[in-house]
Amino acid sequence: MKTLKQLERLSKAHKLIKQGNTGSPTEFSSRLHISERELYRMLEYLREMDAQISFSRSSNSYFYTDDFDLLVNVSVQALVNQELITIYAGSTILKVNFEKTLLNTFTDSLWQ
Q: How confident is the model at residue 85 (pLDDT cuts 50, 70, 90)?
A: low
Among 11-15, 16-20, 97-101, which is the least confidently predicted range?
97-101
Residue 51 φ/ψ, nearest 5 degrees: -80, 125
Residue 72 located in a structural domain: no
Reduce the DSSP state of residue 59 to 3 states and report it.
coil
Q: What is the pLDDT of residue 3?
A: 80
Find the distance separating the first CA and the last CA of the chain, reported in whole Å: 17
- The whole-chain average pLDDT of the chain stands at 78
CA angle 61, 67, 70 (to 5 degrees): 80
Q: How many helices and strands (H and E) does the chain possess?
A: 3, 5
Number of domains in the chain: 1
Question: Quick check: 111 pLDDT over 50?
Answer: no
Residue 101 located in a structural domain: no
Residue 37 located in a structural domain: yes
Q: Which domain holds residue 32?
A: 2-64
Q: What is the pTM of this model?
A: 0.67
Can you give the CATH number for the domain in which 39 is found? 1.10.10.10
